[in-house]
Amino acid sequence: MDHFKEQPSALHTVEREEITKAFREVFALSAGKRVLFWMLEQCAIYQDAFSGDATNATNYMLGLQAAGRRLIDQLDTVDPHLYPNLLLAIADLKSTDLAAAESLAKREEGEEHDVEA
């Protein structure tokens, strides 16, 4: 049970405020967004849970996805815009990574040609 949903004590109020602050601080960094998205990927949020006749594998995937949904729920509790903004930010970061990878590949290709010449 989520102890934050019960009648909050002073300690729970402080804990809720601190976790909200921590999520905001993590989300403010590109590195934090990468980590949050990686965690969601590890929770198989973006995969089909069905594993055919392998009921245990399906149940395992559903368990992973439940953990991922809890993370998304926490993001939504902190700010309903965090998760959609995370998806947009990750798309931008992946685009930047792709451009950097292409640039690196061209540089390495150019260095190979320079060595051969």
Is there a contact between 8 and 22 (Cβ–Cβ < 8 Å)?
no
pLDDT digits (tens, 9 = 90+) for 41-65: 999 999 999 988 899 999 999 999 9
Model pTM?
0.76
Going from N- to C-terminal start, the domains of the chain cover 10-116
pLDDT digits (tens, 9 = 90+) for 29-43: 999 999 999 999 999
